[in-house]
Structure 1
Amino acid sequence: MEAAIQTTYGQLPALLLTAPDGAQACVTLYGAHLISWRGTDGLERLFCSAQSALDGSRAIRGGVPVIFPQFAERGEGMRHGFARVSNWRVADTGIENGWAFAVLALEPGDLAPEHAAAWPHGFALALRVAIHANEVSMRLDVRNAGQDAFAFAAALHTYHLVGDIGTVRINGVEREELAITGKFDHVYEGVTPPLALIDGGIMLTVRQEGFTDAVVWNPGAEDAAALADMADEEYRRFVCVEPALLNGPTLQPGERWVGEYHVS
């Protein structure tokens, strides 16, 4: 069987991955954005706002945005960096030990001129997405392909689809079980995986390597109402629990960093 077929998501070119056991995922080339993931149980696990732009005019609201080389406003560049609003290339697809995978790549020549001018470093990014059974695995590879050193931040800003935010519990970020009772935006530095997201009778186990930190976010009712690309009540349908590297290493020419993320 073919691991990946070309398709569209909204107006965006995309890859539809299908594992031999029936697990599926959809990744848009715009942003190398994992926008849908269904395990063999057939249930969608990722939230995407019904009001999100799906035409490449702005970042997608939902799924798993790739954050690089800056997190939020922690730097002088564009918020959350340029990776999530750039067009990546398909580098490889296939099936390996029952896992369907795709690798997408981004280099300076792929960037819009304004992004290349604002961050003039030689780099090579590769994102590998793989699915099998009720598991998804992502690996972000950052390599310094230029002549000067650079520092960076990175994250995989996962919007987990939930039944209702009021009943969700998160383990592993605080000493006690975490419940989201309103607007919530917190950075946890130096987390020890695995983390767990409990949504009714479903528990998602989250493991990360290379990513030293985690971010938990939900806009709450007031901030959701202020977001043009989110319906007022959609905040109840997701929580972001994301692996992050907020103070990344300074990569010398030729050096690389790899972060891995697994959800099951």
Structure 2
Amino acid sequence: MSATTIQFGQLPALQLRAPDGAEATITLYGAHLVSWKPAASSGAPGQERLFLSTLSALDGQRAIRGGVPVIFPQFAERGDGPRHGFARTSTWRVVDSGEQDGAAFAVLALGPADLAPQMAAAWPHPFELQLRVSIQKCDLALTLDVRNTGTQPFPFAAALHTYHLVEDVEAVRIDGVQGETLAITDKLDQVFEHIPGPIAFDNGVDQLVLEQQGFTDAVVWNPGAADTAALADMEDEEYRRFVCIEPALLGPQVLEPGGAWRGEYRIRPAVA
């Protein structure tokens, strides 16, 4: 089976396994990708690629710290709703899963009927979100679709807040977001608009390519020592083990009635 229902902490989740051994775990809470292990040469899952805090809540009462949170319909505090929107703290539905061309995939959906009543009242725009997660070999592909199913336009922002697992954040090097190589030596929270092409990500061990379409911007974040110490859901030294490089549409973009937007994100090994 390419998709199996499991429990992750206290959360219902879907575990994907590709024929080549690549694995991923997605919680229905938030359609949150919490684990991704590329295929190893033996056909078994390889090393974990996503950071997940050891103190993260896994009970559906608060957002998960790590993995790939889905950000919609606002980024951070850039709006009147909850920080980073409601998608990451709502329970999604599995609408499809299986294998295609050797890849294992799952599609999860979220609409107004899935929202808590107070959230549906606070954001009264008919909509449908779909997130498609696909894994094969050492590739991860994520596609976020937003549809306006109502009769009035609405503005939105979106991002896939990817926590990349690293051995030492000070060894990280990032190219493609600014004119020179970006290194992380302290707290960093920076928005890069109008990304021209793929991002080259050297995590200190491997070289990866981060490709995005539809998402026009990127955000790079690491809280540093001082801010991490103030976070209740992260150990003091855990900031050393991740960097967030997230594809984003910060706009916000206005979606007309019946309109649709798609954001695509792919992580793959760099080609020598």
Say whether the fold is shared (TM-score over 0.5): yes
* Cα deviation code 1:12-65 (max 9, x no counterpart): 000000001000000000000000000013010000000000000100000000
Q: Find the aligned partners of 1:235 and 1:160 in 2 and give their Cα distance.
A: 11
The CA RMSD over aligned residues, in Å, is 0.6
Q: Could you list the runs of 4 or more consecutive aligned residues of structure 1 that deviate by over 4 angstroms after TM superposition?
A: none
1:49 alignment counterpart: 53
- Structure 1 match to 2:85: 81
The aligned length equals 263
- 1:232 and 2:236 correspond: yes
Aligned counterpart, 1:170: 174
Of 213, 221, 232, the match for 1:217: 221
Secondary structure, in 3 states, of the residue corresponding to 1:15? Answer: strand
Q: Normalised by the size of structure 1, how large is the TM-score?
A: 0.99
Does the 8 A contact of 1:172 with 1:193 survive in 2? yes
Q: CA deviation at 1:77?
A: 1.1
1:137 aligned onto 2:136: no
Q: Distance in 2 between the 1:157 and 1:213 partners? A: 12
In structure 2, stretches of 5+ residues that fail to align are: 41-45
**Which of 188, 194, 197 matches 2:198?**
194
Task: Name 2:11's counterpart in structure 1.
Answer: 12
AA aligned to 2:111 is E
CA offset at residue 193 of structure 1?
A: 2.1
Equivalent position SS for 1:197: strand
Separation in 2, partners of 1:37, 1:245: 24
Q: Which amino acid aligns with 2:18?
A: A
Alignment check: 8 A CA contact 1:193 1:206 kept: no
Instruction: Kindly provide the amino acid, as one letter, of the partner of residue 27 in structure 1.
Output: I
Return the alpha-carbon distance in structure 2 between the equivalents of residues 139 and 81 of structure 1: 18
- Corresponding position of 1:208: 212
SS for the counterpart of 1:246 is: strand
Query: Partners of 2:230 and 2:205 in 1: how far apart?
Result: 32
Where do 5+ consecutive residues of structure 1 fail to align?
A: none
Amino acid in structure 1 at the alignment position of 2:152: D
The TM-score normalised by the length of structure 2 is: 0.96
Question: Is the aligned partner of 1:111 residue 2:115?
Answer: yes
Are 1:25 and 2:24 counterparts?
yes
